Each structure stands twice: as C-alpha cells, then as structure tokens.
C-alpha cells in the first residue's frame, strides 16, 4: 500500500512539474502568431510578464515611467521592469525559505531573511534607475553651458531654433543631451507646438537649468524678443553655477576626510608609536 501511495505521489509530482514546464509553451503557441519565434525562454518570459502585468499598480507604473523618461528610455518598459522585480522577489524568497527549512530541520527560521532579501532585490531595479538618473543629470548639468553657447552662436548667426537644435544634436559631445534634443526635434516634427515640445524636454531632463532655459524660450516666443543675448546670459550664469558647485565640493573635501583620519589613520599611527614604548616598559618591569 505504501509503495502504491509513493508511486502515486511521484507520478503526481512529475505531472505537475511537466505541466508547469510545458504550460508556458502552450500558452505562447496560443497567443503568439504563427510566424513568431517559439523558444522555451521567451515563452516563459512572456507568460511571467502576463502574470505580473495585472499586479502592477497605477502609482508604481507612473513612478517607473517617470524614472524611465528621465533616463531617456520609453515608458513601455515599466511592465518589463516590474516583471523583473516580481521575479527577483519570488525567486529570492523561495530560495532563502527553502534553505532555512533545510538547515533549520523544518522550522521557519529563514522567513524574516527571505522577506528582507526579497524586498531588497525587489527595489534593486528602482535603485539602479534612480542612480542612473542622478549620474545622467550630473553629466547633462556639466555640459549644459556648452549647449547654450552653441545655441547662442547658431541663433546669432541667423539660424532658426529648429536648425540650431539640429546643429546641437550633431555637434554636442554629450550623448544624453543629444538624445533629449533629438526627442524634442521629433516632437516638433510630429506636430507638437514649440511650447509643448520644450516643456516635455524640461520634464525629461528634470534639471533647474532646463526649466530656466525653457522659460526663457517661452518668454521669447510670447514677447518676440531677441533670443541670443538671453541665452548668452544664461550660459554665463550656468557656467558660474558650475564653478560654485566645484568650489563647494573642494571645500567639503577636508571635512569628509576627517572620518577616515580619525577612524583609520590616527589609530594605526598611535599603535605604531605606542607599541615599542609599551614593549620597553613591559621589559623593564
């Protein structure tokens, strides 16, 4: 009797395992077109993507879309990143939980660690996007005065705003600014007004310099003033702000060096100086 029950449970386990492996392939064959490539990995990924898509809340979707927009990517990738988040959380949670059950002899000692590590890996893609956004903003902030200088020279030479932007796209050394300006040109070519296109540029870049630049452009468009002197003044102001930021970091460097000096260097110095003295006193005693 026990042999029959064991065989029955083994058969059920094999059936469930085979069903779990083959079901994404069948789902992919039903939902995909006839000429689309069929592979086990793509089938599993599409099936997992479809399972995670209803769980994505509107607030989290907006947050991911905003981070993707700031990093120069499309907002359609928010669902893919959320699928990565769910996969990282579930895989880590199950792995740590099984290891805890194995080492703890059936006890749930690994549940807090599984939740903690799963939560950390769940938020890891968002952290990577935030760090990428900050790094890109620093690079664009450093190259923004050069873009304003190039725009000023182009406009004072008689070029229009779109021609000046196209020249910046071809001549700027910063790929990030070139990419965002190219998106702005694409918006203008698709029929958006200049105010809407430049407002979207400021939202994508998310810098104070970009918002001031767009405000100056809109003021020039509305009042009909000359744009060249205004951009030249902004370029000088941005360059002065960059110098002040560099000066501030230089002044903060000695303060930041105090912690490694107090924690690492001073104790080692005292140890090197005090050990021979302590050794001689010990020998004399």
Do 121 and 132 contact (CB within 8 A), yes or no?
A: no
**Longest Cα pair distance anywhere in the chain, in angstroms?**
95
In a domain, 172, yes or no: yes
**What is residue 17's predicted lDDT score, i.e. its pLDDT?**
46
Q: Where are the alpha helices (DSSP H) in the chain?
A: 2-31, 40-52, 58-70, 78-103, 111-156, 161-171, 175-189, 194-205, 208-223, 228-256, 258-260, 266-284
**What is residue 122's predicted lDDT score, i.e. its pLDDT?**
87
In a domain, 52, yes or no: no
**What is residue 114's predicted lDDT score, i.e. its pLDDT?**
79
In a domain, 184, yes or no: yes
Report how many domains make up the chain.
1
Tokens of 172: 């700027």
In a domain, 19, yes or no: no
Residues of the domain holding 171: 136-253
244's CB contacts (< 8 A; 6+ apart) are none
pLDDT along the chain (285 residues), means of 10: 50 49 47 51 72 84 86 80 86 78 64 82 88 88 88 86 87 85 89 87 88 86 79 87 86 82 81 81 77
Do 122 and 88 contact (CB within 8 A), yes or no?
A: yes
Length of the chain: 285
In a domain, 75, yes or no: no
For 56, how many CA atoms within 13 A lie in the half-sphere containing its CB?
Answer: 23
**What is residue 11's predicted lDDT score, i.e. its pLDDT?**
57
CATH number for the domain spanning 219: value is: 1.20.81
In a domain, 238, yes or no: yes
In a domain, 248, yes or no: yes
In a domain, 224, yes or no: yes
Residue with tokens 């030479």: 157
**What is residue 37's predicted lDDT score, i.e. its pLDDT?**
52
């Amino acid at each position: 009797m026990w042999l029959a029950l064991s065989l029955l449970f083994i058969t059920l386990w094999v059936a469930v395992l085979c069903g779990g492996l083959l079901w994404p392939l069948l789902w992919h064959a039903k939902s995909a077109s006839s000429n689309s490539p069929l592979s086990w990995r793509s089938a599993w990924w599409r099936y997992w993507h479809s399972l995670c898509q209803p769980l994505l809340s509107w607030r989290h979707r907006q947050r991911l879309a905003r981070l993707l927009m700031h990093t120069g990517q499309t907002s359609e990738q928010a669902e893919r990143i959320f699928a990565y988040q769910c996969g990282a959380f579930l895989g880590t949670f199950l792995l740590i939980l099984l290891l805890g059950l194995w080492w703890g002899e059936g006890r749930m000692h690994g549940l807090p660690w599984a939740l903690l590590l799963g939560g950390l890996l769940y938020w890891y893609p968002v952290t990577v996007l935030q760090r990428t956004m900050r790094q890109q903003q620093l690079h664009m902030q450093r190259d923004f005065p050069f873009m304003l200088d190039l725009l000023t020279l182009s406009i004072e030479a008689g070029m229009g705003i779109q021609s000046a932007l196209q020249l910046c796209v071809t001549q700027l050394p910063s790929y990030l600014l070139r990419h965002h300006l190219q998106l702005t040109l694409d918006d203008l070519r698709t029929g958006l007004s200049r105010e809407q296109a430049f407002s979207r540029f400021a939202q994508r870049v998310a810098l104070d310099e970009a918002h001031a630049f767009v405000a100056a452009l809109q003021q020039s468009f509305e009042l009909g003033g000359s744009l060249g002197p205004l951009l030249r003044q902004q370029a000088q102001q941005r360059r002065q702000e960059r110098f002040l930021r560099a000066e501030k970091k230089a002044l903060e460097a000695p303060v930041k060096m105090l912690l490694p000096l107090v924690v690492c260097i001073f104790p080692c110095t005292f140890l090197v100086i005090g050990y021979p003295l302590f050794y001689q006193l010990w020998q004399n005693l």
